[in-house]
Structure 1
Amino acid sequence: MDFNSILEDAGRETEASHQRALELLHTHYSACDTLIDEFDIQRVDFHGSRLHAVVLTPEGEQNEPERIRKAISFAAAFREMAARLSADFPEFETRVRVGIDSGPAVAIDSGKRDEPDPLFIGSPANHAAKLADGDEEGIFLSLRVQRVRDQNTPFTFTALAKAIETGFMHEHVSARGQTLDADMLLAKAYLDFESEMKRRASSELPSDAKFRFHHREPPLKEIVFAEHPPSNAIRMLLASIFADIDGFTAYVDHAIQSGNVAQAVANLHVLRAEMAAVLRDDFGGRKVRFIGDCVHGLLAEGNSRETNALDTIRSVVKAAGGLRSSFELCKLALPGIAELGLAIGIDFGPTPICRIGLRGAASVRTASSRATCVSESEQRRCGGTETALGEKAYEAAPAVVRQIFGTERVVANMDFDASVMLLGTMPSPYVSSVAAEPMRAHAPVAEPMRAHTKL
C-alpha cells in the first residue's frame, strides 16, 4: 500500500527513490513467490505494487468453500510475511490490503515463451482488484465469499490468525478434513526467502540485485526485458499509456453464462494483438504487459542522450488515436463487441524499466513510476470514448495538445485521423511524415488461443 510514497524524495522522483521502490518490489515479489509455492496456488502476475493470484484447488463447484479457506489463509500469511519483512528489513516496510472474490473466470495462456501474459478475466478478478484498492489495510471479502464462508461454519482457527488478524478473527482458517497448516507453510516460505536474501548478499550474487540505471535511445520497441536485470536497468523520461477495454468484464460474464466463451476469447486475442501492434509497429512503443483486458505501453522520442518531451507527447497522443481507430475497426469486424469501448490514460515522467523478482522465467517485467501509476488512474476516470492526460503530461505537452484536452485534460472520440488533424494545426515535419502513413489493421498471430473456464 505504501509503494507510491516510496517513489519520491521530497516530492521528486530521483534515481535513489526509484532504486528504493524497485528494491521493495524486488524483495516482496521474491517473498510472495516463495509463499505462493508453499500454498500451492497460482500467481497470475505482478503489476507494480499489486499481486494477482488464483486458488484453483481443490477443483469443483462443491469445493468452493475449501478454496475460499485456502485463499483467506494465504491472505493472512501474506500479511504476516510483509510484517516480518518490515521487522527484519525496515527499508521494505509497507502495509498490505487484500481483496478476495470467488466464482467462474476465463483463463487464457498467451504471450511469448520468454514474456508470458497469463490472464484470468471476469468478475472475480475484477471485483477482487477493486476490493484491494483502498486506504485501509486488511483483508476484504466480496459478498459472495462472505456468504459461502458463513454457510460453511464452523472453522478451525490457527495461532497465526489470532496473532495477526486482530479485529478480523473469523477469516484465517484451516480447511476441515485437510492438513492446511498455514503457520507451517509461512514458516517454511520465510526460511526459503531468508536463504535467498543471504545468497544475494553473498558473493554468489555479486551484482544481479543491485540497481544500475542508464538511458536508452528511442524507439523503445526493441527493448528485451530479459537483457535488463536490476544491474542493467533502464531509467528515462517517457510516456506511459494504459488502454482498457470498457465493458469487457460484463461481456465475459455474459459469455460464460451463455456458453460463448470461445468467441469472447477469440475476440480478446484479436483486440490485444491489435493494441500491441499499434504501439509497436506504428509508433515504436513497447508493451509492458496485458493486465486483464488492459494494455500498458511505453513510448518515447529522442536520441541517445535525452528524451524530447514535446515530440514524445505528440507521438503518444497520436498513438492513443491510433489505438482508438484500430479498436473501432475491430468493432466493425468482430461479432458481439459493438457495445464495448476503450478508455485511455496517459502520463509522462522518469520511469525505470527492468525485470525483477525471482530469476529466469519467474522474473517479472516492470515499469513502475509515478507516470505509470497516474496513467493507470487517468484511464480509470475515462468513459469508453475518452482519452485523458495526467498533470505531468499536460504540463510537458505543446500548446496545441493542451488546447485539445482542455482544462479537464480529457477529450472524447479522438481517433487517429482526428489527432493528426488537430496536431497538424502546429506545423511540424514529424507530424506531416507520420500523417502521410495511414493507419492499418493488424492480423492476429496464427497460433490459436487456449481457453477454459475454472470455478
Structure 2
Amino acid sequence: MAWNEDRARMRIKRFIDSIPEGRIVVEDFRSFLSETRMAKGITASAALTEASLVDIPRNRAITTHAVHVYANLIDFNSVLVDAGRETEASHRLAFEFLHAHYSACDVLIDEFEMQRVDFHGSRLHAVVLAPEGPQNEGARVRKAIAFAAGFREMVERLGQEHTRFQTGVRIGIDSGPAVAIDGGRKDEREPLFIGSPANHAAKLADGQEPGVAVSRRAAAAIDRAPQPFSDILSLSKSLERQFLNEHVVTAGVDRMADARLETAYTKVADELRARESGSVSEAVFRFQRKAPPLKDIVYADHPPSRAIRMEMASLFADIDGFTAYIDDSIRTGRIAEAVSNLHVMRAEMAAALREDFGGRKVRFVGDCIHGMVAEGDARSTDAMATMRTAVNAAAGLRSSFELCRTMLPGADRLGLAIGIDYGETPVCRIGLRGQASVRAAASRATCVSEAEQRRCDGRETALGEAAFAASPAVVRQVFISGRKVPNFDHDAADLLLGTMQSPYLSSGVEADPMRAHSPEDQLPMRAHDAW
C-alpha cells in the first residue's frame, strides 16, 4: 500500500475528532499532583515519584515549572563499532552499555525523587519537579546539579569496575515553564515535556567535552553567573563535588546527596555483578532476525534475550519550529490548541508509517518521530527495495504533515525535517524491567539518520552516506546534490521515482540478473501480502 491523500485526510479527521482542542484540560502541576495523590490514596508526605507525571490522560496538559536535565553519554558512538565496523559483538556491547547506564540513571533518579522523561540512544532526560513553586526554583536547580554531579561520578565509578562501560558524560541543565503530556498507549507510554527548557538543556548536553553546563536562567536561580562572554555556567570538578554536599529531602527524609549516590551506586553495582554471574537472564542479549514488514513488531515480545538485529532503514522526522510555537502558546493561553495539534500530527505520522509503508514507530522523541522500515524476507533485507520504501515513506510523511498544516489551526508556521540512513540495527526493550523499560533501536544508522535530520530545515529531506550508497540509481540521482532535497513530498516522489525501471543499478551492490526487472511488479505484492 502507498500513501493516499483521501485516506490520510480521513485519518487526520478521525484523530482531530478523537482529541478535540475543546476537550484538552489544561491544569497546573500542583492541582494535578493533589488529584493524583487522592486517586491513588497517596499521602502528601509520600515520595513525589509515587504520583509523578506518568500516564497523563491524552486529554490533559499539565503546566509545570521544572528543571530539565539532559545527560549525554559521549563515547557511545565508539562503542557501536568494533575495529571500525559494526558487528553483532559491538551491537551486543552497545546494548549492554545502554542497559547498564539506563538502569543506573533510573536508580539515581528515584533516589533524588526526580522523574525520568525519556531515554533515547546516548541521551537521558529527567526533570526536577519538587520542591514546587516559583520561590523554590533555586532549590530545584541545586538538586538538579547535585544529581548531575552524582550521575557523572556513578558512571565514572562503574567504568572503573566494568571497563566496557566507560564513557565521558556531558550534562545540560535549564529551568523554566513547560507543558507535560503523554501521547503513548498501553505498554508504550510516552511522557513528554514541550517547551524551551527541555530543548535548551538538550542543546547544552550536545558536544564531546565532559562536564556540567548550566543555562543562564538556571544559574541565576542559584545566584551564579555564566562565564565571561558566555551564556552558560560550566562547573569545575571541584564545584560539582561541592553540590554533593547538598541536602536532598524526599518523602520527608533529609539525606546528603553524596549518601544518596552511595545508596544508588551500591544497588547498581550489585545488579551488574549479578548480571555478569548469569543469574539475571533478562540482561543476556541474543539477536534474531525478523521477516519484514516491521509494522507488527510488539516491543513487549522483545526483551534483551529476544532482541531483533537486521539491516533496515532508520527515519527521523522532526517538527521544525514547534518549540517556538509551544512557547508562544504558553504566553498567549493557547496550550490546548498546541497540545491537540501535536497529538494529531504525531498520530498521523505514526499511522502513515505503519499503514502506508509497513514501518514501525520506535518512539516519539520530543516533537520528533523515530521510525524504521525494511523490505525482504526471513533470510535477508533487500537494501534497494528498503531504501525505495524509505524515501517514499519520507515523502508520505511530508504530505501527511502538509495536510495537517492546512487542517489544524496555528500549524501553518511549522515545518518537517527528515533524515534517513541504512544499516544493521538492533531493536529491543532495555533498562529496568516491566513498564519502566525502554524501547531502543541503536546503531550507526539511527545516529546518522538523526544527524541528517538536524542538517535539514523544515522543507528538506536528507540521506546519510550509507542510505545514499544503498539506494537505487534513480534515488541517488534525485539526492545527488548534497544528499538533500527540498519539498520532497508524495507528488514529487511519484513524479521522480514512479518510472524507475530497475532499482538494482547501484554501484557497490551486486545485482541478481534474475530479478533485475521484477521489483516494480513485486513491491505492490509485498505491500499487499503485509496486510
Ranges of 4+ aligned residues in structure 1 off by more than 4 Å: 167-173, 175-178, 428-436
Superposed displacement of residue 170, structure 1: 6.5
1:140 match: secondary structure: strand
Aligned twin of 2:495: 421
For 1:309, the aligned partner's letter is A
Q: Secondary structure at the match of 1:150?
A: coil
Contact kept in structure 1, 2:295 and 2:360, CA below 8 Å = yes
Are 1:165 and 2:240 matched, yes or no? Answer: no
Any conservation in 1 of the 2:180–2:194 contact (CA below 8 Å)? Answer: yes
Measure the CA separation in 1 of the matches of 2:380 and 2:357: 18
How does 1:145-294 map onto structure 2 within 5 Å?
145-150=218-223, 165-166=237-238, 174=246, 179-202=254-277, 204-205=279-280, 207-294=281-368
User: Paired residue for 2:99?
Assistant: 26
Give me the whole-angstrom Cα distance separating, in 2, the residues matched to 1:277 and 1:335: 21
Structure 1 residue 222: deviation in Å? Answer: 0.6
Instruction: Please say if residues 131 and 140 of structure 1, whose CA atoms lie closer than 8 Å, have aligned partners that are also in contact.
Output: yes
**TM-score, scaled to structure 2:** 0.77
CA RMSD of aligned residues (A): 2.1
Deviations 1:326-381 (A, max 9, x none): 00000110000111000000000000001111111111110000000000000000
Corresponding residue of 1:410: 484
Structure 1 letter corresponding to 2:257: A
Gaps of 5+ in 1: 153-161, 437-455
Name the SS for the 2:175 alignment partner: coil
Tell me if structure 2 keeps the 8 A contact 1:420–1:431.
Answer: no
Secondary structure at 2:493's aligned position in 1? helix
Q: Match for 1:261: what amino acid?
A: I
| Counterpart code for 2:221 | V
Moved more, 427-436 or 194-203: 427-436
Residue 92 of structure 2 is aligned to residue 14 of structure 1: no
Match of residue 97 from structure 1 = 170
The amino acid across from 1:416 in the alignment is: H
- How far the C-alpha of 1:147 sits from its partner, in A, is 1.4
- Tell me the TM-score normalized by structure 1: 0.90
- Counterpart amino acid of 1:115? E
Contact 2:244 2:258 in 1 (8 A): no
Q: Secondary structure at the match of 1:179?
A: strand
Counterpart mapping for 1:51-200 below 5 A: 51-150=124-223, 165-166=237-238, 174=246, 179-200=254-275
Q: How many residues of Structure 1 are paired with residues of Structure 2 in the alignment? A: 425
AA of the residue aligned to 1:112: R
Greater CA drift, 78-87 or 165-174: 165-174
Shift of residue 225, structure 1, vs aligned partner: 1.0
SS at match of 2:419: strand
Are residue 311 (structure 1) and residue 385 (structure 2) matched?
yes
The offset of 1:12, in angstroms, is 0.7
Q: What is the aligned partner in structure 2 of residue 399 from structure 1?
A: 473
Q: Provide closer, same or farther for how the CA distance between residues 433 and 340 of structure 1 changes in structure 2, counting only shifts above 3 A.
A: farther
Cα gap change, 1:197 to 1:10, in 2 (>3 Å): closer
Kindly, what percent of the aligned residue pairs are identical? 62
Deviations 1:133-164, CA, capped at 9 Å, x for gaps: 01100000111111112169xxxxxxxxx9x9
Q: Distance in 2 between matches of 1:66 and 1:430?
A: 62
Segment drifting more, 196-205 vs 135-144: 196-205
Structure 2 CA distance for partners of 1:117 and 1:41, relative to 1, 3 Å: same
Question: Are residue 355 (structure 1) and residue 429 (structure 2) matched?
Answer: yes
> 1:222 is paired with a residue of what secondary structure?
coil
Matched position secondary structure for 2:176: coil
Deviates more, 1:196-205 or 1:276-285: 196-205
Q: Which consecutive residues of structure 2, in runs of 5 or more, have no partner in the other structure?
A: 1-73, 226-234, 503-517, 526-531
1:167 Cα deviation after fit: 6.3
Aligned equivalents of 1:20, 1:423: Cα separation in 2:
39
